[in-house]
Structure formats: structure tokens, C-alpha cells
Amino acid sequence: MNTNSNTYTVIYTTVLVVIVAAILAFAASALKSRQQANMDLAKMKTIMQAACIGQTPDGNADKAADFMKLYNDHITNTFVIDAEGKVVEGVDAFKDVDLKAQYSNLKKGLPVQLPVYECTMDDGRKVNILAMYGAGLWGAIWGYVGVEDDNETLCGAIFDHASETPGLGAKIAEAPFYTQFRGKKLSDAGQFSSVKVIKGGANGSANGVDAISGATMTSKAVSASLEQWLGAYKAFLTNRTSAAAQPCCSEEAECGQNSECDE
Amino acid sequence: MNKEIYTKPFFKGNPITVLVLGICSSLAVTVQLKGALVMALSVTIVTAFSSLILSMLRNTIPSRVRIIVQLVVVAMFVILIDQVLKAFAYDTSKMLSVYIGLIITNCIIMGRIEAFALGNKPWPSFVDGACNGLGYGMILVVVAFFRELLGSGTLFGFQVIPASWYMENGGWYMNNGLMILPPMALILLGCVVWIQRSIQKDLQEK
């Protein structure tokens, strides 16, 4: 048979491609549920670590921890809010919100959907875990921050990246960097402010952390993305603060002690 | 079957150090031993099985679309490996990220198919593919061993350099940050080639 004729070549390649496509389609659909489960677990693991759950004392992820159980035990509520802090109905924070799409909406000034994970700590404290996504030096960076019930103090933070430089920018995903965020304040001289990543050292600043030496661009990107996203969450956090302050004013006895109520 | 098929890829005709193929991925995935090992295994499976399949098809392939047919078969195995890793070894697949997909462009695979599989029977082609994959993997593991040991002080993720040696704990030792970056992999690879050429004199240019 002439293997160089046009008809033969066309038929040969068509048959080959159809067979290969069938094999790949079968493999992709057979493995899809397992892959999705892995991705969900990885997401649960990052969300939990933003509230410092499932971490060893040095801040690294505890290898023995079952993050799916921890997630199900601690996350008591999830919801999606818009930039005015109002709850968006009918959207699942875990499944439906694509942070990358929200990041491009945020840049263009379009309406955004911001996920909030309400986490109940072992001692009963409630921590709201907020998301972050941005552009690093080489690729995407993303992360979560846990904000305590006072809507001001950070309980923890975690970051990850697609392709930052190993040994330099990639250090944002390592414990010595992200544990610095614990206990930092989302305020500067009484005003709402994001936590800043400061080149040259934060020197114990209440809302600043040390940048990574040799990774100025990635450090700046973390700082800028945090500012952008926490800025979007600002309405949600400040609404909660004023809502929490309301009941105390109705009781006159406590009102005198609360200087904010006098205004 | 010629005994050289088994032995050549490991030393005399090593794909990395002698043929200088597959350099790109050997710089990218040798930061940690675990990644290097998974990469080595993946490349071995891809070269072995695509050589086998293409050797079986060799008399039917239209010569004008030869390269495309090879690519389709190689790409199929690479995507299968990528999918399986994502399902069963998620952390490793995340660590290797795009480099699993880039196996398709690894010159060793196309090189062995063109040079060997298309002119030989299936079984020798399979062995040739597997041995070339393993010869490539051997160099990867050697480079990764030094890079992980000197760059992070660990082997397979386990700390092997005592914590008390480190400067931050009052010791005298510090990890070499340069080891983690690709340029150092190239220098290490150069050292491996140097050692091989000083043993195997016939490779030296006059």
C-alpha cells in the first residue's frame, strides 16, 4: 500500500487523533472527581492556615492534620459580600467565587463578589477569613487573611504563588514570612489601613511586616494586593464594627465608658 | 539484542552529558530530590511507551506527517501522566507545575524515536527508550542531590544538616542560596560533564 498518498495520510491522521482523543477524554473524566477533591482539600488547607489552625508552633502546616475535618469543624458559615459589605445571595463562597475573575473586576471597578469564611476557633472566638489575589513578579499570587472579631487585628495570614523565584519571592509561602502577620492591626492612627510589607524592615510597626530581601517586587505585590482586597472588604469590616458598637450605646451604663459613643 | 542498548545510555551515550539533550528540564526540576525523581520516572515512562507504540506503527506512518504523528503519541502520554499526578500526587504535581507538560518538548524523547524507534523492532525500542529515560534520570538525581543538600540542607525533605550548625542557632553554617537558582544547576551539570570527559578520553576534542 502506498503510505504516501494524500488519502492515506488524511485517514491515518484522523483515525490516530480520534483514538488519542478518546483515550484522553476517558482518562480526564475518570480522574476528574479525584482531582477536584485534591484541589478542594488544598484550598481548605490554605483557608484553615489563615486562622493558624492545623499549624505546628513554628507556623508550618502540620503534616498529620486532616484539613477536611478541621475545615468542617471550624468553618461555621460562609457567605459572599459585595464592595458595600452587603451579602450577595445565591453564591457559594467556596465553590462559585473565582478569585482571578474577581481580581480583574476589582481592577476595572466592576461589581465584585468577595468570599468570607466565618471560622469558630476552639476557644469560641469568631475569625473572618478573607481572600486575596494579585499579580506577583512572574505570575499570580494569592492568599487568605484571618481577621479577629474586633475587625481590626489579624489572627494570621497565608500566601501562595504560581511561579515566583525559588529562594527569593517564593518565600512568601514560607512560615517566617507569613507568621509575621499575626497580631498586626488593620489601622493606622485610628484610620482603616491595610497591612504593609515594608522594605528595609518594619521595626515593630503595628501594621507593617518585613519585606523579603532580594524579593522587592514580590514583597511590593503582596503589599499592593492586600491593600486592594482589604480596601474592598473595608465596608464589610467597618459595618461590622459599628454594628457591634450599637448595642452598647443602648445601655446607658456602659455608654459612658465607651468614648466612641459620645461622638 | 545488542547489549549496548542497555549500557550506552547510562554512561557512554548518556542523553544529558554526551548528547546534551534535555538540559532545560534538568535545570528546572532539580531543586529537590523528590521532584527530580518524579520527573525522571515520568520521562522514562513517556520515552519507553512512546518508543514502543511508534515502533509498532513504524511501517504504517506516512512519512510526510511523521513528526506530527510522533508528537501526538508523545503528547498523549504526557497528558495522561499529568492527569494521573494531579489525581494521585497533587503536591508533587503542584511542585513540578508546568514542567510535566513540558516533557513533550524534551528532546530526548523525539530524539530516541527518530534515531531508534522508527528503525527498530518494538521490544528493543522499548528498552532503548526506558534506558535513555533512566540515564537522564540518573543525572537529574545526582544534580538534585547536591542542590538540595547544599541549597536547603535537606534530602527528600528531611533535614540532614544538624540544626545546631546554622548561624541563626549560633553555629557557623549557612545554606547556599545560589544552589536553589538555575545557574548553579548548569555549573553542577558542567562539573558532571567534566568528570565524564576526564574518564572517557575519546570524547575530548583534540
Compute the nearest-CA separation of B20 from chain A (Å). 25
Chain B hits for A16, Cβ within 8 Å: 69, 72
**Residue showing cell 548561624:** B167
**Positive/negative CA dihedral, B61, B64, B67, B72:** negative
B166-175, pLDDT tens digit by residue? Answer: 887 888 888 8
Instruction: Please judge whether B76 and A4 are an interchain contact, meaning their C-beta atoms are less than 8 angstroms apart.
Output: no
Residue carrying the nine cell digits 530524539: B111
CA-nearest residue to A9 within chain B is: B62
Asked if B76's CB is within 8 angstroms of A9's CB, the reply is no
**Inter-chain touch A9–B180, beta carbons under 8 Å:** no
Q: For each of chain B's 206 residues, which pLDDT tens digit applies?
A: 677 888 888 888 888 888 888 888 888 888 889 889 999 999 999 999 999 999 999 999 998 899 999 999 999 999 999 999 999 988 888 888 788 888 998 889 999 999 999 999 999 999 999 999 999 999 999 999 999 999 888 898 888 888 888 887 888 888 888 888 888 899 999 999 999 989 888 877 77
Judging contacts by C-beta atoms under 8 Å, the chain A residues touching residue B31 are 166
Whole-number Cα distances in Å, B166 to A170, A174, B116, B162: 21, 18, 50, 8
Q: In the 3-class helix/strand/coil scheme, how is chain A assigned residue by residue?
A: CCCCCHHHHHHHHHHHHHHHHHHHHHHHHHHHHHHHHHHHHHHHHHHHHHCCCCECCCCCECCCCCHHHHHHHHEEEEEEECCCCCEECCCCCCCCCCHHHHHHHHHHCCCCCEEEEEEECCCCCEEEEEEEEEECCCCEEEEEEEECCCCCEEEEEEEEECCCCCCCHHHHHCHHHHHHHCCCECEECCEECCCEEECCCCCCCCCEEECCCCCHHHHHHHHHHHHHHHHHHHHHHHHHHHHHHHHHHHCHHHHCCCHHHHC
Residues of B in contact with A213 (CB under 8 A): none
The pLDDT, as a whole number, for residue A246 is: 58
Among candidates B64, B88, B180 on the partner chain, residue whose Cβ is nearest the Cβ of A4: B64
Going along B126-192, which residue ranges are E strands?
A: 154-155, 158-159
- The phi, psi pair for B120, rounded to 5°, reads -130, 165
CB A70, CB A117: distance < 8 Å: no
Point out the residue among A9, A23, A31 whose CB comes nearest to the CB of B65: A9
Smallest Cα distance from A96 to chain B, Å: 21
CA distance A47 to A127: 11
Q: In A, which residues are within 8 Å of B79 by CB distance?
A: 24, 27
- For chain A, 263 residues long, give each residue's pLDDT as a single digit of tens: 788 889 999 999 999 999 999 999 999 999 999 999 998 998 999 999 988 888 888 888 888 888 888 998 888 888 898 888 888 888 888 888 889 999 999 888 888 899 999 999 888 888 999 999 999 998 899 999 999 988 888 999 999 988 787 778 888 988 889 999 998 888 887 788 888 898 888 787 888 899 988 889 999 999 999 999 998 998 888 888 777 665 544 444 444 444 444 43
Q: Cβ A38–B86 below 8 Å, yes or no?
A: yes
Which of A13, A67, A160 is the best substitution to test chain B (most B C-beta atoms within 10 A)?
A13
Where are the strands (E) in chain B, listed by range? 154-155, 158-159
User: What pTM did the predictor assign?
Assistant: 0.79
Q: What is the pLDDT of residue A250?
A: 45
ipTM of the complex: 0.81
**How far is residue A186 from each of residues A79, A151, A175, B1, B163, measured CA to CA in Å?**
21, 8, 21, 72, 36
Give the closest-approach CA distance of A29 to chain B in angstroms: 10
Closest residue, chain B, to A5 (C-alpha): B62
Q: At what angle do helices B182-199 and B122-152 cross, to 10 degrees?
A: 120
